[in-house]
Amino acid sequence: MMMKIKMELTKVKKDKPISNQLGFGQFFTDHMFIEDYTDEKGWHDPRILPYQSISLDPAAKVFHYGQTVFEGLKAYLTIDQKVRLFRPKSNFKRLNASNERLCIPAINEEHVLEALKGLITVDREWIPTNPGTSLYIRPFIIATDPCLGVSSSKRFQLIIIMSPVGSYYKEGIKPVKIQVEQHYVRAVAGGTGAAKTGGNYASSLKGQELASKDGYSQTLWLDGIERRYIEEVGSMNIFFKINGIVVTPELNGSILPGITRDSMIQLLKSKNIPLEERRISMDEVLEAYHNGTLEEAFGTGTAAVISPIGEFKWKDNRIILNNSEIGEVTQMLYDTLTGIQNGSLEDPFGWTITW
């Protein structure tokens, strides 16, 4: 059933940023989407409004207990001037998986996709067109009950905002340097590591700050029990190519089930490149480095796309990959993924929705 979305358009359109100065998440489009939830009415009152501040009671549970989830997905303008979304159904499915973990009521995935298409259509002229740019979409849900008891909220808001973006890292597609975190951990199985919730990112900030101080772009998180097995990077899943085989940590309950990660697994399989999803330790990576079989490493994520890794620092070891240059498989994955996203390549996987 179609849903009725209220629409209030802005009278004053903002100036658009210059396409080669976008950075990540700094500019926001003219409109946003909001929908409310109460136990009595369920999700209701969907509306597209001019982009604006929201007013919340200072006791709203989201501020105190972090009951919130979010997603990140992207829209592109294809070379034939159509709007293209990449795997939005997977994002809304994952949003509901996160909702389940955080005791947030499920959204109607079809309705929200319909609303998102309406929002993008209204702000279509905000989709940047320079190579490497896109419209980043951030749906999120917050608990709004003004009550300090630690219990699940009975009221929520779903909001979607959109931001024209360039590359997530200042390095762009050049290899990034990553520090392996020894002391702090991001998540453990049974916790919320596999959900996309603010707390996971809050707990990653300290490691990120330490890495930045040492001149590294990101933190690589190890497992929370033995501090040996590789989990994920602050904003990406991670892959290694060792002796011709691509290896990525298996989904173990504490790693985010990345949609770009899943896309790369499908892509590698379709190209008959050997791939293993399994536990992989830093000892194994260091050994492969020393015996000359560590060929490539790269991160994957919606924001980061495919980011080659040029160096890891782990304890006193500096592991330099591929002369700090992008590897062959990493480049192929980047070209294929971005080609499917911008419409210059066929989408044999049915990942995209175009209109």
Interface with ligand COI (CB under 6 A): 72, 201, 235, 301-303
The letter for the amino acid at 249 is P
Which residue's Cβ has the minimum distance to ligand COI? 72
Q: For residue 129, how many C-alpha atoms fall within 13 Å in the half-sphere facing its CB?
A: 9
Contact 207, 184 (CB under 8 A): yes
d(CA 73, CA 324): 29
The letter for the amino acid at 92 is F
User: How far apart are CB 234 and ligand COI at their closest, in Å?
Assistant: 8
User: How far apart are CB 249 and ligand COI at their closest, in Å?
Assistant: 17
With 0-12 / 13-18 / 19 or more C-beta atoms within 10 angstroms meaning exposed / middle / buried, residue 326 is: buried
User: How far apart are CB 305 and ligand COI at their closest, in Å?
Assistant: 9
Nearer CB in complex with ligand COI: 302/330: 302
Nearer CB in complex with ligand COI: 93/318: 93
Picking from 134, 126, 136, 123, the residue whose alpha carbon sits closest to that of residue 50 is 123
What are the Cα distances from residue 264, in Å, to 186, 232, 260, 268, 306?
23, 15, 6, 6, 9
User: How far apart are CB 201 and ligand COI at their closest, in Å?
Assistant: 6
User: How far apart are CB 285 and ligand COI at their closest, in Å?
Assistant: 23
**Quick one: tokens of 139?**
């749906």
Place of tokens 């480049």: 331
Which ranges of 167-277 would DSSP assign to H, the alpha helix?
Answer: 198-202, 205-213, 259-270
Contact 177, 217 (CB under 8 A): yes
Nearer CB in complex with ligand COI: 3/201: 201
User: How far apart are CB 209 and ligand COI at their closest, in Å?
Assistant: 16
Nearer CB in complex with ligand COI: 31/74: 74
Which ranges of the chain would DSSP assign to H, the alpha helix?
Answer: 61-65, 88-101, 109-122, 198-202, 205-213, 259-270, 282-290, 328-342
The letter for the amino acid at 321 is L
User: How far apart are CB 106 and ligand COI at their closest, in Å?
Assistant: 20
Nearer CB in complex with ligand COI: 189/205: 205
Q: Is the torsion defined by CA of 196, 202, 207, 212 positive or negative?
A: positive
Nearer CB in complex with ligand COI: 242/259: 259
Nearer CB in complex with ligand COI: 76/289: 76
Nearer CB in complex with ligand COI: 254/322: 254
User: How far apart are CB 227 and ligand COI at their closest, in Å?
Assistant: 23
Contact 132, 167 (CB under 8 A): yes
- Phi/psi for 292 (5° steps) reads 80, 15
User: How far apart are CB 19 and ligand COI at their closest, in Å?
Assistant: 20
Nearer CB in complex with ligand COI: 118/198: 198
Nearer CB in complex with ligand COI: 137/288: 137
d(CA 224, CA 315): 17
User: How far apart are CB 302 and ligand COI at their closest, in Å?
Assistant: 4
Taking the CA atoms of residue 86, residue 92, residue 97 and residue 100 in that order, the dihedral angle to the nearest 10 degrees is: 160
